[in-house]
Amino acid sequence: MGSLAHWIKPILRIAALLSLLAGAPFWGFAAAKADVGRLRTDPIYFRLIVDLEFKKTPVSIDVVVACEQHRTMSRAYGGTDETLGMSAYVYAVRLPGDHAIKVRTIGAPGAPNPCAGDTSANGRVPKDWLPLVVWYDRADDLSHGLGYADQDAYANPIAKISFRGARVETATARDFERFMQSGQKNLVPSYLSGIFWGKDHPVLTEGKAVPVEYLARPERAWIFASHPVCRGVRRVRLSKAQRERIRAIWPKERPDRWQPPAEGEYSLLRWILQDTPQRDQPETYDPDRRSLDLTSDDTVFPVVSNESLQGLERDPSRAEAYAHEALVDEAASLRGFVFCDSDAPTELVQALLKRPPERFGSEGRRKCRLGKMEVRVRISGCSDASWIVFERDEYAFFFYPQTGA
């Protein structure tokens, strides 16, 4: 997309660090195995303020965030336990009534990135930025949340909160230290709230049997899961030029929903994304749209995943379908939302099945369903960023990248 260059440096840095943390070489770092590796960086600090309203009462999430505040790299692929990371990538606070809301402190790719110096003052965080906010019914259960990914969510009758604006300001190391001592408490554990998590991440079993309480209430195991994943699908109306190109490959049977040939599918998807104005700024808010009915052609629908704790909570027998199928929920009452779920730890699924779960990994093993249609995907079900579905020659559906929240 147009702002890809804006993300190249952070992406390369993260890839290098992940490789080192995992004990794998990354390009030029491979030769440094025998050396003491130290990467000195200048930490960036910023302050994020998200103004909301809950039950007609103003609510402000005000956090100070540090990017790359841990600066010691590993010796010989892992000699130390300190990592480079971000504190915090997500931040959750308690609301009256024992509810909770969580914000992602940086935007999705193509949206503002305060870790790269984007602020409201320098104009790189637009006034209409809509950061991802996730609602949790219970502050002590962050296994499943409803993410407000699109403006339609706030206009939806089921919305619990209203959006009033967001801004990013510069901050200092002293601001960060002060916030850590006296700021709002993050309900998300440190090992789940940063970009990286390390040795302090708890293991579900540690070689022991899974406690009975997690077999009866799988959702309680969210603290043992990895970072929560927000899954959604975006629907957009095709432009006149797009429709002309798509009509040329529309099967002669003229199905209502269909996929293009596998060969060239990804290139077609990239063309649709690049040529769709709404995707240039994937997180924006227009206050003048708040009073309109939910008729927007460009909207988001959530994805229900069988590998999530949400699925196991509803029906533990669904562990049988672990990591094999996901479903796009097109209910009008869920327009604008994404489901933000903690995925079930393998040990818990194994305990429920009384055998190891089947593992995906080959093409076609994980399935995605859009209504009655089974969607062809590579590996990652509905969360695979390489699929596209057309509705006649008018609309396109594709994975909406709201992951890692």
The residue type of 69 is Q
φ and ψ at residue 24, rounded to 5 degrees: -120, 145
b/e per residue 261-287 (b: at least 16 CB within 10 A): eeeebeebbeebbeebebbebbbebee
Reported as a single tens digit per residue, the pLDDT across 245-261 is 999 999 999 999 999 99
Q: How confident is the model over 84-120, as pLDDT tens digits? A: 467 888 999 999 999 999 999 887 766 788 988 999 9
Rounded (to 5) percent helix, strand, coil in the chain: 25, 30, 45
Specify whether the CB–CB gap between 344 and 214 falls below 8 A: no
Provide the 3-class DSSP secondary structure of residue 123. Answer: coil
At 236, which amino acid appears?
V
CA distances from 2 to 101, 118, 149, 270 (A): 31, 16, 21, 11
Give, as one character, the DSSP assignment of residue 284. Answer: B
Residue 129 is encoded by which pair of tokens? 């930025």
Tell me, what's the pLDDT at 274? 78
Q: What is the pLDDT of residue 109?
A: 66
Q: Within 10 A of 177 (CB to CB), how many other CB atoms are there?
A: 13
Per-residue confidence (pLDDT) for residue 307, from 0 to 100: 80
- List 375's β-bridge partners, or say none: 368
Task: Give pLDDT < 70 ranges for the chain.
Answer: 1-41, 69-85, 109-110, 195-200, 275-283, 285-296, 321-323, 359-365, 401-405
Can you tell me which residue has the tokens 């052609």?
297
Q: What is the pLDDT of residue 356?
A: 81
Whole-number pLDDT of residue 71: 45
Residue 235 is encoded by which pair of tokens? 């629907």
335-392 pLDDT, tens per residue?
A: 889 999 998 888 898 888 888 877 665 555 678 899 889 998 877 778 888 899 999 9
Question: Cα angle at 320 between 317 and 326, to 5 degrees?
Answer: 100
Q: What kind and span of H or E run contains 133?
A: strand 133-136
b (16+ CB within 10 A) / e for 315-353: ebebbebbbbbbbbeeeeebbbbbbbbbbbbbbbbbbbe
Angle formed at CA 257 by CA 251 and CA 258, multiple of 5 degrees: 45
DSSP β-bridge partners for residue 5: none
Could you list the beta-strand ranges (E) of 36-113.
36-38, 44-54, 57-67, 72-75, 86-87, 90-95, 99-104
pLDDT of residue 158: 92
pLDDT at 302: 92
Tokens of 295: 């008729």
Instruction: Report the residue count for the chain.
Output: 405
Say what the pLDDT of residue 292 is.
46
